[in-house]
Amino acid sequence: MKAGGLSRRLSRFLRNLAFRMKVARVPKTIRSKPPINIVTLLMMAFAVFILAGGVYSFVEIMSGRSLTMLPRSGGWTFIYPGNLNMQTISESLISGIMYFLGGAGVYLLLRSVRLAYRPRQAYLTMILGLILTLIVVYYSSSLLQSKIAG
C-alpha cells in the first residue's frame, strides 16, 4: 500500500461521512435569506427598544412596581424628576418614539441625497428630515434637562 493511499482513503471516508450526516435537507424556499430591508428594520426596532429602556420597563412590569404617571404638587407628570436611574413606562415610550422619529429624520436626510436629479423633491425631503431631526434633538434634550432639574 502506498503512503498517500491511506490519507486519501481517510479523507474520502470523512467526506462521505460528512455527506451522510446531512440527513435533513431543508427546502430551498426556507433556506432563502430575508430581505435586507426587513432585517434592517428589525435591527433598528431592537436598538430603539434597548435604548429607550425597554428592558428596564419590562423588569419593572414583571416585578409589579411599574408606574405610568407620578403625582406632583401641580398635577401629574410622566417624568421621574431628579433621578436619571429610574423612569416611568410613559417616559420610555416617549423616548422610544423620539428615537424612532430621529431615525426617520436621518433616513429622510440620506434619502434626499439619492434624489439629486429631482431637485424639488430632494429639497423638500432634506428640509423635512432636518426639521424632524432638530425637533427630536430639542425635545430629547429638554426631556433630559427636566429629568435632571427635578
State if pTM tops 0.75.
no
Residue 101 burial (10 A CB sphere; 0-12, 13-18, 19+): middle
pLDDT, mean of residues 68-73 = 80
State residue 21's pLDDT score. 64
Type and span of the H or E element at 54: helix 54-63
10 Å CB burial of residue 125 (0-12, 13-18, 19+) is: buried
Range with the poorest average pLDDT among 12-21, 50-59, 68-77, 79-88:
12-21
Per-residue model confidence (pLDDT) at position 75: 84
